[in-house]
Structure 1
């Protein structure tokens, strides 16, 4: 089941029928996509994504990221993308407290304000505003105590060169 898709639909107050109609597909077909029974083509994913104002790559993130996930399985690294509203559109952290399904479509504020989060939010805002890469050391409060991360950020751009969000890579550099 694509729980993230169902959750997104419910958060927007939409029915399966209205999403299907807005995406120009059959409601039963949409239901199968939402329930994980069928995988959409890229064209259908793009239509659904347009209805939700999300990136269609979200439908294929698992397939695309398999080699990436394997390579970073034991690395203390978080990789994420956010849109202009700072809502996560992609997230990878294999041993974090959040799963991608819990994070996608939410802001850091919606996930909970902890030490370091205001600095991360400010960094993302600057990356988007200035359109320039940044690097910053940020101390985050986690369940196991404070952890220091070096955070690298880049503006995300669409095909026409417009900034559509920010991409960040954060690595735990806490000295033990």
Structure 2
């Protein structure tokens, strides 16, 4: 996870009032493991990204993709 994405995850967690321990408990992992994910010391699996997003009632892209990384349609030249 890149720096801005990690900061966004931390912001969303704090916005919801969750501690590292509460997030770890919700995910079924240790507090240390969650801390490592949020601080870029451990990679984030797709499955955990989905689980984290569900905790916050968001889509994974809203948390884990940079805001300037949008998918756009290409117009055809027909």
- Structure having the higher strand fraction is 1
Displaced runs of 4+ in structure 1, greater than 6 A?
A: none
TM-score by length of 1: 0.34
Partner of 1:136: none
- Unpaired segments ≥5 residues, structure 2: 73-78
Please list the CA deviations of residues 17-65 of structure 1 after superposition, one character each: whole Å capped at 9, or x if unmatched.
1111112222111101111111211111111111122212343x26xxx
Please list the CA deviations of residues 93-116 of structure 1 after superposition, one character each: whole Å capped at 9, or x if unmatched.
8xxxxxxxxxxxxxxxxxxxxxxx
Total equivalences in the alignment: 67
Residue 42 of structure 1 pairs with residue 46 of structure 2: yes
RMSD after superposition: 2.5
Residue 26 of structure 1 pairs with residue 30 of structure 2: yes
Partner of 1:66: none
TM-score by length of 2: 0.69
Say which SS state the counterpart of residue 39 (structure 1) adopts: coil
- Structure having the higher helix fraction is 2
- Unpaired segments ≥5 residues, structure 1: 63-90, 94-166, 169-176
Structure with greater contact order relative to length (CA < 8 Å, sep ≥ 6): 2
Residue 12 of structure 1 is aligned with which of 16, 19, 22?
A: 16
Q: Larger C-alpha radius of gyration, 1 or 2?
A: 1
Cα distance in structure 2, aligned partners of 1:39 and 1:55: 19
* Aligned-pair CA distance for 1:15: 0.4
